[in-house]
Structure 1
Amino acid sequence: MSELRKDPVSKRWVIFSPERAYRPNDYKVKKEKKEKEEDKYCPFCSGNEKKSGDEILAYPKTANREPNSPNWWIRVLENKYPALTPQQNLEKKGVGIYDRMNGLGRHEIIVETEDHKRCISDLTNIEVEKIIWAYRDRYIDISQEKEIKHILIFKNYGERAGASLEHSHSQLIATPVVPKRVETEIKGAKDYYKFRDRCVYCDILSQEQLDKERIIEENEEFVAFNFFAGKVPYETWIVPKKHSAFFSTITKKQIGSLAKILKNVITRIKRALGDVDYNMVVHTSPINIHENTEDVFHWHLEIMPKLTRIAGFEWGTGFYINPVLPEDAAKTLREIKLDE
Structure 2
Amino acid sequence: MSELRWDPLKKTWVIITLERGRRPRDFMNDRKQVNMTVCPFCYGREDKTPREIFAIRTDGSRPNTPGWKVRVIPNKYPVLRIEGELEKRGVGIYDAMNGIGAHEVVIETPDHDRSLAELAPAEITDVLKAYRARLLDLRKDPRFRYILLFKNHGVEAGAAIPHSHTQIIAVPITPNLTATELSVCQEYYKKKERCLFCDLLAQEREDRRRIIRDDGNFVVFAPYASRFPFEVRIAPARHSHDFALMADHELSALAEALKDALLRMRSVLRDPPYNFLLHTSPLMHLRLGKPGYWGSIPYDFHWHIDLVPRLTNNAGFEWGTGFFMNSTPPEEAARFMRAVDLSMSL
What is the TM-score of this pair, normalised by structure 2?
A: 0.86
Moved over 6 A (4+): none
Structure 2 residue aligned with 1:291, among 283, 291, 294? 294
- Is residue 201–residue 237 contact of structure 2 (8 Å, CA) maintained in 1? yes
Aligned CA distance change for structure 1 residues 28 and 271 (closer, same or farther; 3 Å): closer
Q: Secondary structure at the match of 1:302?
A: strand
Confirm whether residue 176 of structure 1 aligns to residue 180 of structure 2: no
CA distance in 1, matches of 2:172, 2:134: 16
Confirm whether residue 105 of structure 1 aligns to residue 104 of structure 2: no
CA distance in 2, matches of 1:273, 1:247: 28
Cα displacement string for residues 224-268 of structure 1 (whole angstroms, at most 9, x for unaligned residues): 000100100111110101212211111112101100010110000
Confirm whether residue 67 of structure 1 aligns to residue 63 of structure 2: yes
In the TM superposition, residue 215 of structure 1 has moved relative to its aligned partner by 0.6
CA distance in 1, matches of 2:202, 2:241: 17
After superposition, the CA RMSD in angstroms is 1.4
What's 1:209 paired with? 205
Amino acid aligned to 1:305: P
What's 2:337 paired with? 333
What's 1:54 paired with? 51
Cα displacement string for residues 247-291 of structure 1 (whole angstroms, at most 9, x for unaligned residues): 111111210110001011000000100120000101012113522
What's 2:16 paired with? none
Confirm whether residue 41 of structure 1 aligns to residue 45 of structure 2: no
In the TM superposition, residue 28 of structure 1 has moved relative to its aligned partner by 7.9
Cα displacement string for residues 172-223 of structure 1 (whole angstroms, at most 9, x for unaligned residues): 0011110111011111112222332211100011011100111111123100
CA distance in 1, matches of 2:63, 2:335: 46
State the identity %.
42
- Is residue 232–residue 306 contact of structure 2 (8 Å, CA) maintained in 1? yes
In the TM superposition, residue 131 of structure 1 has moved relative to its aligned partner by 0.5
CA distance in 1, matches of 2:33, 2:100: 30
Confirm whether residue 85 of structure 1 aligns to residue 81 of structure 2: yes
CA distance in 1, matches of 2:158, 2:327: 22
Structure 1 residue aligned with 2:260, among 255, 260, 264? 264
Q: Secondary structure at the match of 1:74?
A: strand
What's 2:240 paired with? 244
Amino acid aligned to 1:105: G
| Equivalences, count | 305
What is the TM-score of this pair, normalised by structure 1?
A: 0.87
- Is residue 33–residue 155 contact of structure 2 (8 Å, CA) maintained in 1? no
Structure 2 residue aligned with 1:309, among 299, 308, 313? 313
- Is residue 146–residue 288 contact of structure 1 (8 Å, CA) maintained in 2? no
Confirm whether residue 153 of structure 1 aligns to residue 156 of structure 2: no
What's 1:163 paired with? 159
What's 2:9 paired with? none
CA distance in 2, matches of 1:241, 1:144: 28
CA distance in 2, matches of 1:300, 1:28: 30
Structure 1: 5+ residue stretches without partners: 1-26, 30-34
- Is residue 157–residue 310 contact of structure 2 (8 Å, CA) maintained in 1? yes
Structure 2: 5+ residue stretches without partners: 1-31, 286-292
Is the deviation greater in 206-215 or in 190-199? 190-199
Q: Secondary structure at the match of 1:110?
A: strand
CA distance in 1, matches of 2:312, 2:264: 19
